[in-house]
Amino acid sequence: MKWSQFFIVTAKETPADAVVPSHQLMLRAGLIRQVVAGAYTYLPLGLRTLRKIEAIVREEMNRAGAIEVSMPAMHPIELWEQTGRVAAMGDVLLRLHGRGDDWRSRTVLGPTHEEIITEHARTYINSYKQLPVTFYQIQTKFRGEARPKSGVLRTREFLMKDAYSFHTSKHGPGGLDDGYQAMYDAYCRIFARCGLPYIAVEADSGPIGGDASHEFMVETDAGEDFLVKSEDGSYAANLERAEVAPVEDGKDGRNAPLTVVPTPGHTTIEQVSAFLRCTPARMIKTIIYVADGQPLIALVRGDHNVNEPKLKRVAGVLNLEPADPALIKNLTEADVGYAGPVGLSNVRIIADQAVTVMHDAITGANRTDHHLTGVNPGRDFEIKESADIREAVPGDRAKNGAPLTFRKCIEVGHVFKLGTKYSDALGATFLDEKGASHPMIMGCYGIGVNRILAAAIEASHDANGIIWPASIAPFRVIICSLDTREADVMSTSEKLHDELESRGVDVLWDDRDQRPGVKFKDADLIGIPVRITVGKKGLAEGVVEVTTRKDGQTQRLGVAGAGVELLRLLQGR
């Protein structure tokens, strides 16, 4: 492909509204163009890489035995109502709006496809003999991101590979465990082939549901998620799932009397700790929720935050929402900011483990403008339920005692064991060998195809531009012809181009009449793995120069055997 006949638009300046490297470089290299916030056109270079990623994903899905389908982006809202996810997804679920109750008002744009595929399975699968089976697609999704940012890392329209497996059992041959492992292994192959330095971690299932899941992360400062790892490498999880070792009992205090102290107008941990001249770690934070319609109180140390996914699992509830001020006042007889566990016996309370070893703590007095000091769990209030319900923080340790480290990361894939959440809701059942009916057991598996592209750039770039892994580079080789008015330079370049292209190598031939510096800078910016420089001076010595983008090393090859030698080098890399 000649540069002069392709469409490549590069820019020298970094766009002012682009913050993370992948966004900056995708714009500068002419891979994407924003149409509206959260939606992008993929220009020719970007689309070539996107299609290569799709090909790898498709090959590995097929290799794992999944069957490709293509489902629509428009879904009837009735299916989402049956699974309860209209409320669970909230504003993330984009709805069409029409007049009255016409078809548009009953239609949503799919952020994922569990409902649709389960309806199909309900329709076409009725016997255990048809299971297990896994379906997948590569298709556009829509989500109502309130603040799309970081280029294609957080958008409202994106490309996802989503797969769904159906089984007769959780365990045993052909069960969910086997299907889950097959997809997990396929994901490892996909990300390795795409050149991503990924790590698989334990994860929370979130609104998708299910009882087990793993995320595939790429560490980068551009990420919005946090990867929590033990220093010894024995444990890794995302922040929502990360478990911590119990806090030891410091045995400080425990003898102070329970005392009511006025704290007028001081409602936050920061305000009260400053007013009473104590650290936030001395305080007990009392958070009131509505869990599946019933009040629930979570207690954490003042310097900790409630981990709501953990709390939901411990409490055994599906829906968890902050209580409104009216409910808080009804339970505590105080305004917001003055709640505490002492004296509250008519509501379920779950305390974080760190709270159970506190002594002489400070908490709300359930009386407006007042707090309690000298609070001791066990003496002043009873803890009936306790567990790890907080977010991990720096200084915490894994359960084996190893210190935990925190790194920003990008999630590129997620696998879930769904169980029967969707098959129960939508009536997707099968008959076993005895004719008894059972709900199908499901798994689902997603990959952000656009995110692979951005994550590859985040993981591999320098001050000059992108450094593509060869497997997903828009072109594998770029031929830079210097002295384009020299017939020998152009004929040699054309011969190399045609020879490599005939052998299946993607080649971009920069045939522009531009200065060498411009060509080299553009080649580095768009990140082509191998650059071949053909110039008048080199040809006079009978050589062309080959430079690898990753390490900048250059070697000279004789013109006569350059094509064959280049093929050998490319195969070796």
Residue 206, pLDDT score: 57
Distances (CA, A) of 553 to 381, 508, 529, 532, 548: 69, 20, 11, 12, 6
Residue 561, pLDDT score: 84
Greatest alpha-carbon span in the chain:
96
Closest CA to 167 of 420, 415, 435, 413: 420
φ, ψ for residue 50 (rounded to 5)? -60, -40
φ, ψ for residue 367 (rounded to 5)? -150, 120
Closest CA to 127 of 484, 429, 518: 429
- Contact at 8 Å (CB) between 145 and 137? no
Same fold, 65-242+406-455 and 475-572: no
Cα–Cα distance measured from residue 464 to residue 476, given in angstroms and rounded to the nearest whole number: 18
Residue 573, pLDDT score: 61
Cα–Cα distance measured from residue 570 to residue 573, given in angstroms and rounded to the nearest whole number: 5
Is residue 568 helix, strand or coil?
helix
Q: What are the residue boundaries of the structural domains of the chain, listed by start?
A: 65-242+406-455, 259-387, 475-572
Q: Which amino acid is at 98?
A: G
Cα–Cα distance measured from residue 476 to residue 96, given in angstroms and rounded to the nearest whole number: 43
Residue 253, pLDDT score: 64
Cα–Cα distance measured from residue 210 to residue 206, given in angstroms and rounded to the nearest whole number: 8
Strand order across the 530-534 sheet: 507-510, 477-481, 530-534, 543-548, 554-558
Does domain 65-242+406-455 correspond to CATH entry 3.90.25.10? no
Q: Which segments in the chain show pLDDT lower than 50?
A: 208
Q: What is the CATH number of domain 475-572?
A: 3.40.50.800
Residue 108 β-bridge partners: 75, 95
CATH fold for domain 259-387: YbaK protein (3.90.960)
Distances (CA, A) of 250 to 282, 354, 375: 12, 11, 15
pLDDT digit string, tens, across residues 280-336: 999 999 999 999 999 999 999 999 999 998 999 899 998 899 999 999 999 999 999
- State the helix-helix crossing angle for 562-572 and 487-502, rounded to 10 degrees: 40
